[in-house]
């Protein structure tokens, strides 16, 4: 009898231990649920992205999956071929509100235009301002998430004429927006994984790269810009190292775990306001420091003169800024509106088939007509114009033939209403910086007032 009771007690203890283990695994799954935002050369989460290396989707001995073998990682890959202006206007809304970790990647080739100008050299430039706007909108949407920036780099070679000779030189170290992106990330307490800083001193030396990385620059690049599977493995190791070092520092400090996430969307928004955000770094980001209304759809048009009519409410009241400084939230009422349209361009359209298009206001609202100009380097274009407030604003997009190629196809991917204000406070340095930016003119290959 004692032996039987002993066996029964042992079985009960084993069952209790199994139940406890299952509960711990479930808690881990909830705690480490991955809902991050990431980008990887316009690719999905496959073996050919650095994210796959970090998550160990294809390898058995990598960082997160190996560290937490009982955790189910849920990934949202919001990578698209576009500038961060599009991402901050619309795509931030794809981030789950209960995300645990958000990765923001940039700086590959998005800060250069075709003439070689650096479009990320000032906080008054739109691509830097919208990098911060994306951070702030993501933080309001997922206030309990941990954030990390990933700064990639284009390790190509440029051929330059110096005197009577042609020389080949590495891509300029300062050709990205990484310095200002790092400043913004640090402002919001996010670490930066820098591919450039980790590899620039090694990757252009084949002997050193082979010895230290196990692969040369040519062997890890799919083209002059994007890595191949071997390159993504190196990229992923750098990101994984940064995650590991950050987690070690957090755990060593004895930081408390975050409180449970509210279930209702209203409670989530209230939590964001409760935590508050610091003042924006960019004066332009301060002018749009609120959420947007955006709808992404696919509309394909062919033949000159074809028109797409869109009716929308431009009078919607935005959520108030949740800056901790009351001056920002009271002065910035966001009483004005931009109307923005996104569309396909570059290699996302058939060569020679893309046409032009114009966007005027037709009825109920007023705006200055804007041309939806096509660019070559960015796959998703965006154009904007200020629009008056009206509950039933009718606008139209009309296709025009390309005067050079004769192309007459146009594909609209989305429309957005962006609240903004010109009353946001700015320092005298910011004021001078914004004036210089306006004076330069044609600062971006997009139309944005």
Q: What is the CATH number of the domain that holds 58?
A: 3.40.50.1110
Are 228 and 372 members of one domain? no
Are 4 and 48 members of one domain? no
What is d(CA 310, CA 228) in angstroms, rounded to the nearest whole number?
A: 41
pLDDT of residue 19: 52
As for how many domains the chain has, the answer is 3
24 or 71, higher pLDDT: 71
Look-up of token digits 């190196």: 234
Torsion angle defined by CA atoms of residues 175, 178, 184 and 188, in that order, rounded to the nearest 10 degrees = 170
Q: CB–CB of 356/371 below 8 Å?
A: yes
> Which of 231-245, 259-273, 390-404, 409-423 has the lowest average pLDDT?
259-273
**Mean pLDDT, to the nearest integer, of 81-97?**
85
Cβ neighbourhood burial of 38 (10 Å; 0-12, 13-18, 19+): buried
Distance between the two ends of the chain, CA-based, in angstroms?
86
Are 23 and 38 members of one domain? no
What domain range includes position 18? Answer: 1-28
Reference 356, options 368, 339, 369; nearest CA is 369
Are 240 and 355 members of one domain? no
Are 357 and 382 members of one domain? yes
> Which of 209-218, 314-323, 325-334, 343-352 has the lowest average pLDDT?
325-334
| Residue 155 lies inside a defined structural domain of this protein | yes
| Residue 263 lies inside a defined structural domain of this protein | no
Taking only the tens place, the pLDDT of each residue in 132-157 is: 999 999 999 999 899 999 999 999 99
Q: Which residues have C-beta within 8 Å of that of residue 218, sequence separation ≥ 6? A: 206
| Residue 78 lies inside a defined structural domain of this protein | yes
| Residue 73 lies inside a defined structural domain of this protein | yes
Are 4 and 86 members of one domain? no
| Residue 270 lies inside a defined structural domain of this protein | no
What is d(CA 438, CA 449) in angstroms, rounded to the nearest whole number?
A: 10
Are 56 and 156 members of one domain? yes
- Dihedral pair phi/psi, residue 384, rounded to 5°: -145, 155
Strand-pairing partners, residue 159, are 168
Q: Which residues have C-beta within 8 Å of that of residue 144, sequence separation ≥ 6? A: 98, 100, 258, 259, 261, 271
Are 75 and 202 members of one domain? yes
| Residue 274 lies inside a defined structural domain of this protein | no
Instruction: Look up residue 376 and give its two tokens.
Output: 């070559």
DSSP 8-class letter at 261: P
What is d(CA 202, CA 217) in angstroms, rounded to the nearest whole number?
A: 9
398 or 331, higher pLDDT: 398
Last residue of a domain, one of 205, 223, 252: 252
CATH number where 402 lies: 2.60.120
Are 240 and 138 members of one domain? yes
Are 22 and 131 members of one domain? no
Taking only the tens place, the pLDDT of each residue in 161-198 is: 888 889 999 999 988 899 999 999 999 999 999 999 99
| Residue 109 lies inside a defined structural domain of this protein | yes
Q: Which residues have C-beta within 8 Å of that of residue 417, sequence separation ≥ 6? A: 292, 293, 294, 312, 313, 314, 316, 337, 338, 339, 340, 387
Q: Angle between the 126-141 and 265-275 helix axes, to the nearest 10 degrees? A: 120
Are 153 and 247 members of one domain? yes
| Residue 123 lies inside a defined structural domain of this protein | yes
Q: Residue 31: is its pLDDT beyond 50?
A: no
Q: What is the mean pLDDT of the chain?
A: 78
Q: What is the pTM of this model?
A: 0.80
Are 154 and 57 members of one domain? yes
Query: What CA–CA distances, in Å, run from 159 to 107, 172, 232?
Result: 21, 12, 26
What is d(CA 204, CA 40) in angstroms, rounded to the nearest whole number?
A: 22
């Amino acid at each position: 009898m004692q032996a039987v009771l002993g066996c029964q007690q042992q079985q009960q203890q084993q069952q209790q231990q199994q139940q406890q283990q299952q509960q711990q695994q479930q808690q881990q799954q909830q705690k480490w649920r991955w809902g991050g935002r990431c980008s990887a050369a316009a690719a999905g989460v496959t073996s050919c992205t650095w994210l796959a290396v970090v998550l160990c989707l294809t390898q058995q001995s990598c960082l997160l999956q190996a560290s937490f073998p009982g955790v189910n990682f849920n990934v949202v890959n919001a990578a698209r071929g576009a500038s961060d202006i599009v991402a901050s206007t619309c795509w931030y809304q794809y981030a789950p509100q209960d995300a645990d970790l958000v990765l923001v990647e940039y700086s590959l080739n998005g800060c250069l235009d075709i003439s070689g100008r650096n479009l990320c050299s000032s906080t008054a430039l739109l691509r830097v301002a919208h990098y911060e706007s994306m951070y702030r909108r993501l933080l309001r949407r997922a206030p309990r998430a941990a954030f990390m920036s990933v700064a990639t780099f284009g390790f190509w070679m440029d051929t330059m004429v110096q005197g009577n000779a042609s020389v080949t030189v590495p891509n300029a170290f300062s050709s990205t927006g990484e310095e200002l992106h790092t400043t913004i990330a640090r402002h919001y307490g996010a670490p930066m994984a820098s591919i450039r800083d980790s590899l620039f001193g090694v990757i252009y030396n084949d002997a050193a790269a082979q010895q230290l990385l196990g692969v040369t620059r040519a062997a890890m690049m799919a083209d002059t810009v994007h890595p191949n599977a071997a390159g993504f493995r190196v990229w992923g190791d750098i990101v994984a190292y940064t995650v590991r070092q950050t987690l070690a520092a957090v755990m060593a400090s004895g930081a408390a775990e975050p409180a449970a996430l509210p279930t209702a969307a209203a409670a989530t928004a209230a939590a964001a306001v409760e935590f508050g955000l610091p003042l924006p770094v960019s004066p332009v980001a301060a002018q749009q420091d609120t959420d947007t209304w955006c709808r992404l759809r696919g509309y394909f048009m062919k033949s000159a003169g074809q028109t797409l009519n869109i009716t929308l409410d431009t009078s919607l009241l935005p959520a108030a800024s949740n800056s901790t400084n009351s001056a920002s939230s009271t002065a910035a009422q966001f009483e004005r509106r931009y109307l923005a349209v996104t569309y396909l361009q570059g290699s996302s359209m058939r060569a020679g088939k893309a046409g032009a298009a114009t966007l005027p206001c037709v009825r109920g609202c007023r705006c200055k007509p804007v041309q939806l100009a096509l660019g070559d380097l960015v796959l998703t274009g965006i154009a904007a114009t200020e629009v008056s407030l009206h509950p039933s604003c009718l606008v139209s997009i009309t296709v025009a033939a390309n005067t050079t190629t004769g192309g007459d196809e146009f594909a609209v991917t989305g429309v957005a209403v962006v609240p903004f204000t010109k009353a946001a406070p700015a320092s005298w340095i910011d004021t001078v910086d914004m004036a210089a930016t306006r004076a330069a003119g044609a600062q971006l290959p997009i139309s944005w007032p």
